Amino acid sequence: MQRPSYTATGYILSIAAFVWWGLFPLYIKLVDQASSLEILAHRVVWCLPVCVFLIALWRGWGELRRSLAQPKVLVTLLISAAIVTLNWLIYIYSVESDQVLASSLGYFISPLVTLAMGMVFLKERPGRLQLMAMGLAALGTLNALLHQGGGLWISLSLAFTFSTYGLIRKTVKIEAVAGLLVETALITPLALAWLLYMGFHGHLVFGQGGWSISVLLGCAGIITAVPLIWFTAGARRVPLHVVGIMQYIGPSIQFVLAITLFNEVVSPARLITFALVWAGVAMYLLASSPWMRKKKQDPEPEATPV
């Protein structure tokens, strides 16, 4: 059987990551006995041994040492670690406070920010149909912004932190697992200090709230590491504007979860936003179809001399 190409693998990894993130509110609801900061701390702490295991399994220590020999890489990863940690905290809070629609909107906006960053910083130039698809998504986002209530800060914060993280991780010269290992290692001392502080004051759910929630919190490392690894590996293989369009998968799943399982109220304006965004995705898929690519590559027929 023929192995998928480098680019095809990027598409598969990126799609899988966004589907996983779309379903992530289900996990947060299962552990919502714990505070947002405790869940965040567990995500960081338990992610570190998972990354160490993967690096050892894939014998990536040499690549990790070579990357860290460049001071610029370490400084960049410190910045990306701070940004993704802030993104995690805001997202966990939005789910625990029953504002999944606000977080969904944030990730609807995020691809537009990503697209703009790709055009400005990486000089990516999408085609005409892709620009029209972005326009439809932009109209949907504008409609949502005009009708958004008190959760607007959640939406905008998630959009800008996630897009910035994606841009940084695409440009830094380190592989996905090694980069995530460094990021979590840099943040782990703070996360451990917070868990110890909560435990000393009797506010820690882990180990005291029953074995089931303790196991779920302990699984936070695997649940966190897997989609991030897929995302960073996939983003290095495909153009940033493609990743931007794929980002609509996650918030769409969150949107469905919010209105079906979490019983959040959805207004007609939000339904219009949802329709516009997916119309844009459909147009992008049309522009990326093999038929459209073949048509673009076919030479124009020469005019018959009169």
Angle between helices 100-121 and 268-287 (to 10 degrees): 40
1 domain residue, yes or no: no
What pTM did the predictor assign? 0.80
Residue 185 is assigned to a structural domain of this protein: yes
Count up the domains in the chain and report the number.
1
> How far is the CA of 193 from the CAs of 37, 42, 91, 199, 265, in angstroms?
12, 11, 22, 10, 38
pLDDT of the residue at 292: 56
Tell me whether residue 302 is in a domain. no
* CA nearest neighbour of 76 among 170, 213, 158: 170
Inside any domain, residue 298 = no
| CA of residue 292 relative to chain centroid, distance | 28
Host domain of residue 117: 11-290
**pLDDT under 50: residue ranges of the chain:** 1-2, 298-306
Residue 243 lies in a domain: yes
Q: What is the pLDDT of residue 257?
A: 93
Report the mean per-residue pLDDT for the chain.
82
Asked if residue 100 belongs to a domain, the reply is yes
The closest alpha carbon to 288, from 99, 3, 15, 58, belongs to 15
**Cβ(214)–Cβ(42) below 8 Å:** no
Q: Please indicate, yes or no, if residue 77 is contained in any of the structural domains.
A: yes
At residue 290, the pLDDT reads: 52
User: Which pairs with CB-CB distance under 8 Å and at least 24 residues apart come from 78-84?
Assistant: 78/186, 79/168, 80/165, 80/168, 80/169, 80/172, 80/179, 80/183, 81/182, 81/183, 81/184, 81/186, 81/187, 82/187, 83/161, 83/164, 83/165, 83/168, 84/161, 84/165, 84/183, 84/228
**Residues 6 or more apart whose Cβ sits within 8 Å of residue 84:** 161, 165, 183, 228
pLDDT of residue 303: 35
Asked, for residue 44, whether it belongs to a domain, the answer is yes
